[in-house]
Amino acid sequence: MVSYTIGRSAPDVHAKWGCLQRISPGGDLSPTLLHVTPWGELRIRLHEGSHGCGERAGHGMWIAVGKGKGGAGCTTAVLELAYAAARRRRGRRPRRVGVIDLDPQGNATDVLEPESRSLGIKDVLNPHSPLSLRDVLVPASWERILVAPADRFLANREVDITARGITALRRARLSGEIDDLVDDVIIDLPRDVGKLAATGLLGAETLFIAAQATMWGAQGAEEMRYTAERISAKGNPDLRIAGFIISAYDDARDSKRVLNEMKENFGEKVILPPIPRRVRVREAIESYHTPCREYGGEDLVEVSDIYQSVYDRSQEARENLK
Ligand SMILES: Nc1ncnc2c1ncn2[C@@H]1O[C@H](COP(=O)(O)OP(=O)(O)OP(=O)(O)O)[C@@H](O)[C@H]1O
Ligand SMILES: [Mg+2]
C-alpha cells in the first residue's frame, strides 16, 4: 500500500479526489482508507502501483543525536535541528518532523509540550503492547513537529525491552510506517549505552555525536563513536556518523586545544564552526521552551544559523546519496 496526501481543505480534497477518479475512471484504484492525520490532513490509501495526483510523502532522514557524556548539548541539538527542518523559508518546503525521545529524563518532551502524554515511546518498546510508533506520535507545541514522548517510566521499563522492542524503530523506518506522517525523524538518545540507546542506533541512518570541547567530552564522543560502529556492524549497516557537533564552545585556551585534538582524531567529521557558548540558549530552550531563532537576539540567531546549516548540509548529503 502507498499513502497519499490529498489535501487539507474541502475544495482541495474534492479537486484531487476528482483527479484520482479521472485517472481511474472505473474506480479500480480501490481506495481502502480515508482518515485524518494528526496534522489535519486527509489521506487515502491506494493499491501499490497506482499513480495518484496527490503528493507521496517520501522516506526522509532518520537522524539520531547521541553523546558519551551528559550535558553535551544533545537535546539542544535535537530540538534545534527539528526546528531547522520544520522552519518555513522562502523557496523551501518546510518539513514535518517526528521527534522520538528515548531519554527517560524527557527533556525534549518537556520542551515540545506534547498535546498528550498518556502514551509514549515506552508503549512502543513494551513487548506486551500492541501499539506502534504512529500510535504514540502526538502534536507538539512547535509547528510541524510531532513527538513520541518519554517519561521516567522509560527507565524502569528498559530491563523489559526484548529483541523485538530494540528493533521497533528499525522496523518502523524500513516499513515506512510513519512516512505519511512525517518527513524526517530526529531521535534524542540517552546518555547510557543500554537497550534504549541501541534502539535508537538501530533505527537511525544518520548519527550526530554531541560533545563539549573538554577532555571528558572528547572521551565521551570517542566512546559513542565506538558504540555506533559496533551497532552498525552488528545490525544496522545503514548507520553513518554524519558529524560531531561541538556545543557551548568558548574561546578558552583549553577548549581550543581539545577542539584541535578532536579535529586530529575525527577529521572532517568535526562540524565547523562549533556552536558557541551563549548563556541565553538555556533561557530560550529550557526555561521558555522556545527555539533560539524565535526567542530572538543576535546571539541566538547565530546559534540557530549554525544548526540550520548542519541540517541543510546533511539533507544535501542525503539527496546526493539517493
Ligand atoms: N550553545 C550553548 N551555550 C550555552 N549553553 C548551552 C548551549 N547549548 C546547550 N546549552 C545548555 O547546556 C546544558 C546541556 O545541554 P543539553 O541538555 O542539550 O545536553 P544533553 O547532552 O542533552 O544533556 P543530558 O545528558 O542531560 O541529556 C543545558 O542547560 C543547555 O541549555
Ligand atoms: Mg538530553
Given a cut of 90, whether residue 3 has pLDDT beyond it is no
Please name which ligand lies nearest the alpha carbon of 71: 1
The last residue of a domain, from among 31, 56, 81: 56
Is residue 256 pLDDT above 50, yes or no?
yes
User: What's the number of domains the chain is made of?
Assistant: 2
Same domain, 175 and 278: yes
Give the per-residue SS3 of the chain.
CEEEEEECCHHHHHHHHHHHHHHCCCCCCCCCEEEECCCCCEEEEECCCCCCCCEECCCCCEEEEECCCCCCCHHHHHHHHHHHHHCCECCECCCCEEEEECCCCCHHHHHHCCCCCCCCCHHHHCCCCCCCHHHHCEECCCCCEEEECCCCHHHHHHHHCCHHHHCHHHHHHHHCCCCCCCCEEEEECCCCCCHHHHHHHHHCCEEEEEEECCHHHHHHHHHHHHHHHHHHHHHCCCCEEEEEEEECECCCHHHHHHHHHHHHHHHHHECCCCCECCCHHHHHHHHCCCCHHHHCCHHHHHHHHHHHHHHHHHHHHHHHHC
Atom of ligand 1 nearest to the CA of 103: 27
Residue 166 pLDDT > 90: yes
Q: Which residues surround ligand 2, an ion (CB under 5 A)?
A: 74-75, 107
Contact 173, 113 (CB under 8 A): no
Last residue of a domain, one of 22, 39, 56: 56
- 178 with 248, same domain: the answer is yes
The CATH number of the domain holding residue 222 is 3.40.50.300
Question: In angstroms, what is the span from residue 245 Cα to ligand 1's centroid?
Answer: 12
- Confidence at residue 246, expressed as pLDDT on a 0 to 100 scale: 98
Across the range 210-226, mean pLDDT stands at 97
Q: What mean pLDDT is predicted for residues 159-186? A: 93
Relative to the alpha carbon of 220, which ligand is closest? 1
Domain that includes residue 168, residue range: 62-321
Average pLDDT, the chain: 86
Q: Quick: pLDDT tens for 97-140.
A: 999 999 999 999 999 999 999 999 999 998 888 899 999 999 99
Do 202 and 94 reside in the same domain of the chain?
Answer: yes
Stretch among 46-55, 106-115, 193-202, 230-239 having the lowest mean pLDDT: 46-55
Both 218 and 265 in one domain: the answer is yes
236 has pLDDT over 60: yes
pLDDT in tens, 181-193: 999 999 999 999 8
For residues 147 and 181, the answer to whether their CB atoms sit within 8 Å is no
**51 confidence band (pLDDT: 50, 70, 90):** very low
Q: What is the pLDDT of residue 128?
A: 85
Same domain, 118 and 226: yes
Residue 26 has pLDDT above 60, yes or no: no
Measured from CB, residues less than 6 Å from any atom of ligand 1 are: 67, 70-76, 103, 105, 107, 191, 210, 247-248, 275, 277-279, 281-282, 285-286, 303
CA of 106 to the centre of ligand 2 (A): 8
Q: Is 230 found in the same domain as 136?
A: yes
Supply 86's cell numbers.
Answer: 520544520
Which band of pLDDT confidence, cut at 50, 70 and 90, is reported for residue 1? very low
Model confidence band, residue 321 (pLDDT cutoffs 50, 70, 90)? confident
Q: Taking 80 as the threshold, does the pLDDT of residue 310 lie above it?
A: yes
pLDDT at 158: 86
Mark whether 44 and 171 lie in a shared domain.
no
- Does residue 25 have a pLDDT over 60? no
Mean pLDDT over 236-251 rounds to: 95
| Peptide bond before residue 273 is cis, with ω within 30 degrees of 0 | yes
pLDDT of residue 12: 54
One domain, residues 103 and 12? no
Are 83 and 220 part of one and the same domain? Answer: yes
Are 16 and 38 found together in one domain? yes
Q: What is the mean pLDDT of residues 222-239?
A: 94
Residues 51 and 193 in one domain: no
Which of 109, 281, 289, 307 has most ligand 1 atoms within 8 Å of CB, for mutation? 281
Residues 131 and 211 placed together within one structural domain of the fold: yes
